Structure 1
Amino acid sequence: MKKHIYITLLVGAITLVSCSKEEKSVQNQDQPISVTLSNTTFSNTSYATASGKLVSKNSVNVSTRMMGYITSLRAEVGQQVSAGQTLVSINNTDIQAKGGQASAGIAQAQANFNIAKKDYERFQNLYKNQSASQKELDDMRARYEMAKAGLQAAQMMKNEVNAQYRYTNITAPISGVITAKYAEQGDMASPGMPILTIESPSILQAQVLVSEQDITLIKQGMAVKVVIKNTNQEVNGTVTEVSRSASNTGGQYMVKITVANSQSLLPGMYVNVQFPFKRSGSVNTDFQQGVSVPKSALVEQGQLKGIYTVSSSNTAVLRWVKTGKIIGDEVEILSGLDAKEPYIISANGKLYNGAKVSVK
């Protein structure tokens, strides 16, 4: 009999504890979650995004005007060079021969000039003493002028040879880094064909292609945001060049942006450039007024993205939304959330669909 009494008491105690937990759980579920709301607003600015890459503003191809074999190539990709530094030497045997001929021509022309000058001066004195006729003086003057012109021509020939010498020893036109090498020692250099490329990374430009519907809104001097794709680093930029022709760029327009604080960046990095467009009156009517929310307000479940709103009965409602561009810490909402509609930006508990909430 006592055993049955103990079993009955034990079952009763367990039932009371279980009921107590259920009542407590119900009470916790009935407790509203404190939330903070934020109202979406119309943005007075729309954005267009274009992709491209960074290039050096100061970039030159090193080439020669002489044809000949490369006898020396003191340059490697990645090497830092200074303006005036000798990089390439080209065989100059032919130029040396021409230089010798030019020197010999100068010597001959100088001798002829000296003789003609002395004869002219002699006939000037004879003419003063009436020992020479006017015709003889004129002939000596003509001979002197011809000898003088011949000497000048020989000297110009020597200058031309010296100029050609400079093209056989090619120096760096700017200070920078060698980024490309198109020939090796022993190769034949041709006039106009690049041998090296030197870039100065101190000033970088972002070059992007913009569609025809946006190009008319982009102005020189416009401030833009440049986002490095690899690191997601964001830097400021200024539009410096806007092309008005798309004939050579496949129907899109080239825009160049000077990038600020580019010390840690390298040419060739891929970027996204965000162009802001202000709306006023009837201008830019093709743009729809967009809604943007903070990234922290979004809820992600797999590939779906949603945001919590508050119903008329003060319960949380999960609304699935379609997102667009990411601009800084803001995400553009394309559909699923109306403009000026309040949404939950933060909560003091774990939200779920249908949870009771209280607005702070």
Structure 2
Amino acid sequence: MKPGHSRVCAKSGGTISQRADIHRISFVIFAFAALGGCEQNSFVPPPPPKVDVAAPVQKAITRYFVATGNTAPFNSVDLVARVQGVLQSINYKDGSLVKQGTTLFTIEPDTYKLKLDQAQAAEAGAQASVKQAEADYKRQVDLVARQAVSQATLDTSTSTRDNAQANLQQAQANTKIAEVNYGYTNVAAPFDGIVSAHLVSVGELVGAASPTQLATIVQLDPIYVTFNVNEQDVLRIRAEAKRRGMTSSELTQLPIEVGLQTENGFPHKGKLDYAAPTVNQSTGTLAVRGVLPNADRILLPGYYVRVRVPFDQQQDALLVPDIALGSDQGGRYVLAVNADNVVEQRKVQIGQVEGELRVIESGLKPDDRVVIAGLLRAIPGQKVDPQLQKIDAPPPPAK
């Protein structure tokens, strides 16, 4: 085909270029028609997530100091042989409860009874000597007054009388020592308590070189509970006591409640009876002790126990579910929803647990809406759809 000439289509009677132009125009018209028949797309944000919110529970509570402590015996004494001799008898059953004054061990009493008799006989002889010397002295005084004897004779009589009186005092002292040693042959219970297994056997020589331990007696009723209070709690409790006008003696008479690790609540009741006068600088704690009745001997020395000391009454405490609390490097917090339904993070100071609720000391107001469920959907700074709920009041504390 020569340049400048067009190729003619046999069927349409037009050139190839003309047919291509017609197709392009038809496509453009169809595309515009298609676009004109469709709606324009636009982004629609999802609705705010639903979360459960509730106002804090207001309730009168008793504020407690809670610690972990140990039980300790009210009295514990090692029974020892204070005289030398052969152990003659053991007069109790190992582990039995005995009354004060009960004889527990007998150590060769006959020998010390003879020594006591000997001392008493010596004392009687000394008393006779004193009577004789006193009578002779009076005679010599009378004779000297009548100038029948010399003054030297009276001086000798006076010396004899004084020596006799001194010998009598020595004999009396020896008698008392013999009585004490004879009393030591019977080892008695110094108080009501439980006696441990005996550590020596009948027929064994005891007290030969040094006091020999025979057994241990422990008093379990009442019983002590010892625990430590950290410095921050000491300051808080003392400040509260000062606000209420309590004296130091009244503070050491606060009630105390104790529970074993396997018990519910704090069934054992007593009172504080001692607080150390100084804080231990190495631990930053104050040693405190309570005393409890233990007639049934449920509490044994050495137990780990839970200790609770009530020290204040609060009439309008705020409580939220413990699961609503979060924590970060800044401390504890809750998520609250403001008036615009935007989530806010509130830093709070927490107190004790009441059932499944936690006391909030500061950081919340009674009308705040706290997120109690759906915490993962509540993001600080974003809106939510709050669903108002009600928090059940905590049950009364276990007794």
| Interval of TM-score (by shorter of Structure 1 and Structure 2) | 0.5 to 0.7
Equivalent residue for 1:197? 216
Q: What CA distance in whole angstroms lies between the structure 2 residues aligned with 1:171 and 1:223?
A: 35
Matched, 1:206 2:238: no
Equivalent residue for 1:228? 260
The structure 2 residue matched to 1:85, chosen from 90, 102, 105, is 102
Equivalent residue for 1:188? 206
Matched, 1:113 2:130: yes
Matched, 1:145 2:162: yes
The DSSP-based 3-state class of the residue aligned with 1:143 is: helix
The DSSP-based 3-state class of the residue aligned with 2:82 is: coil
Q: What CA distance in whole angstroms lies between the structure 2 residues aligned with 1:98 and 1:261?
A: 44
Per-residue deviation at 1:192?
Answer: 5.7
Q: Is the 8 A contact 1:201 1:267 kept in 2?
A: yes
Q: What CA distance in whole angstroms lies between the structure 2 residues aligned with 1:145 and 1:39?
A: 92
Trace 1:238-249 onto structure 2 (pairs within 5 A). Answer: 238-245=271-278
Equivalent residue for 1:332? 358
Trace 1:280-291 onto structure 2 (pairs within 5 A). Answer: none
User: Partner letter of residue 54 of structure 1?
Assistant: T
Matched, 1:273 2:329: no
Q: What CA distance in whole angstroms lies between the structure 2 residues aligned with 1:249 and 1:169?
A: 46
Q: What CA distance in whole angstroms lies between the structure 2 residues aligned with 1:342 and 1:202?
A: 51
Q: What CA distance in whole angstroms lies between the structure 1 residues aligned with 2:85 and 2:281?
A: 34
Distance 1:77 1:266, change over 3 A: farther
Query: Number of residues paired by the alignment?
Result: 295
Q: What CA distance in whole angstroms lies between the structure 2 residues aligned with 1:277 and 1:141?
A: 74
The superposition leaves residues 222-243 of structure 1 with CA deviations (integer Å, 9 ceiling, x where unpaired) of: 3343222221341444221111
Equivalent residue for 2:79? 62
Q: Is the 8 A contact 1:242 1:254 kept in 2?
A: yes
Q: What CA distance in whole angstroms lies between the structure 2 residues aligned with 1:220 and 1:194?
A: 36
The superposition leaves residues 239-295 of structure 1 with CA deviations (integer Å, 9 ceiling, x where unpaired) of: 211113466996643210123676463223321113456699xxxxxxxxx974478
The superposition leaves residues 314-349 of structure 1 with CA deviations (integer Å, 9 ceiling, x where unpaired) of: 9xxxxxxxxx98745354379xxx84555799xxxx
Per-residue deviation at 1:187?
Answer: 6.1
Distance 1:311 1:214, change over 3 A: closer
The DSSP-based 3-state class of the residue aligned with 2:162 is: helix
The DSSP-based 3-state class of the residue aligned with 2:153 is: helix
Q: What CA distance in whole angstroms lies between the structure 2 residues aligned with 1:330 and 1:212?
A: 28
Distance 1:264 1:332, change over 3 A: farther
- Share of identical aligned residues, percent? 26
Per-residue deviation at 1:357?
Answer: 6.6
The superposition leaves residues 189-225 of structure 1 with CA deviations (integer Å, 9 ceiling, x where unpaired) of: 4756653333343322211133343344464223343
Distance 1:359 1:230, change over 3 A: closer
Give 5+ residue unaligned stretches, structure 1: 1-34, 281-289, 299-306, 315-323, 346-352
Structure with greater Cα Rg:
2
The DSSP-based 3-state class of the residue aligned with 1:204 is: strand
Matched, 1:171 2:188: yes
Q: Is the 8 A contact 2:54 2:388 kept in 1?
A: no
Distance 1:328 1:168, change over 3 A: farther
